[in-house]
Copies of this chain bind each other. A is one copy, B any other.
Amino acid sequence: MLAEGESMAGPALCAANTAAAQTLHRVSGFVENKTTQCSFSIESILGLEQKKDGIPAVKPHRPWMDARTSLVLGGDSNPHLQIPVVCYENPLFQANSDPVQEEKVLKCEKYFSVTERLSFKRELSWYRGRRPRTAFTRNQIEVLENVFKINSYPGIDIREDLARKLDLDEDRIQIWFQNRRAKLKRSHRESQFLMVKNTFTSSLLE
C-alpha cells in the first residue's frame, strides 16, 4: 500500500498531495493572518466533520485518482471509495487479458502510437465506469430536432421507434430529450429576462 503522497507523479499534482493535516494547518494560518479580507471558516469550507488532531475524517472526493491509483498500483483496501471499474472499450487494457496477446501488442510498439490516441481519449471514461460520451451524427441530431419541434415529450413507443431508426439506445433518446428541454427552457428564460430588462430600460428613457 502506498502512502498518500507517493501515489501520484508530476509537479502539478503536488497540489493535492499534501497531507491533509498539513494543508489544514497551512490554511488555518492563512485565515488567521488575513482576518478581514479572507476569513472564511474551515468548517464551512470542508462542510465535513473533522477530528481534533486536524485530520479530516473524510478524504476529498477525487474518484478519478482513487480508481486509477488502485487499478494501476495494485488495489485499494476500501471498496466503498472505489469507483466501479468498467472496462468498456479500452483496447489497451480490456481486450488483451491474455499475456501472450499482451506481449504481442507490446512488441508492436510502432503501432502503439496509432492506438495511443484512441485509448488515451477513452481512458477517462473507461476507468471511471462512466458511459462513453455519445457522439450523435448530424443526421441523428436533425431527426431528433425535427421530432422535438413537434413533440418534446415523446412516449416510450416513439422513443423506441426513434432508437431503432437512428440506431441508438432508447436511453440515449430519453436523455437527449431531457437535456433538449432543459436547453430550450434555459434560452427562453434568458430571453425573458432580457425582455423584462429592456422594458425597464425603455421606461427609464421616457
Query: In the complex, which residues 121-174 of chain A have their Cβ closer than 8 Å to any Cβ of chain B?
Result: 123-124, 139, 142-143, 145-155, 157-158, 161-162, 165-166
Please report the C-alpha to C-alpha distance between residue A19 and residue B42 in the assembled complex, in whole angstroms: 54
A-B residue pairs, 7 tightest by C-beta? A84-B187, A12-B187, A9-B191, A10-B191, A27-B146, A23-B149, A84-B191
Please report the C-alpha to C-alpha distance between residue A139 and residue B40 in the assembled complex, in whole angstroms: 14
| Residues from chain B with Cβ under 8 Å of A194 in the complex | 9, 85, 87-89
The answer to whether B165 and A86 have CB atoms under 8 Å apart is no
Interface mask (A19-57 → B, CB under 8 Å = 1, otherwise 0): 010011011001000000111101011111000000010
Please report the C-alpha to C-alpha distance between residue A8 and residue B192 in the assembled complex, in whole angstroms: 8
Please report the C-alpha to C-alpha distance between residue A184 and residue B24 in the assembled complex, in whole angstroms: 19
User: Chain B nearest CB: distance from A184 CB in Å?
Assistant: 6
**Chain A to chain B contacts (Cβ below 8 Å), 17 pairs:** A13-B184, A13-B191, A23-B146, A23-B149, A27-B147, A38-B139, A45-B147, A45-B154, A47-B154, A65-B188, A69-B192, A72-B192, A73-B195, A85-B195, A89-B197, A94-B201, A112-B197
- Please classify how large the interface on chain A is, using the bins under 10, 10 to 19, 20 to 34, 35 or more: 35 or more
Q: A111 within 8 Å of B by Cβ?
A: no
Interface centre among A94, A120, A151, A187 (most CB of B within 10 A): A187
The interface of chain A, by Cβ under 8 A from chain B, is: 8-10, 12-13, 15-16, 18, 20, 23-24, 26-27, 30, 37-40, 42, 44-48, 56, 60-62, 64-65, 68-69, 72-73, 80, 82-89, 92, 94, 106-107, 109, 112, 120, 123-124, 139, 142-143, 145-155, 157-158, 161-162, 165-166, 183-185, 187-198, 200-201, 203-204
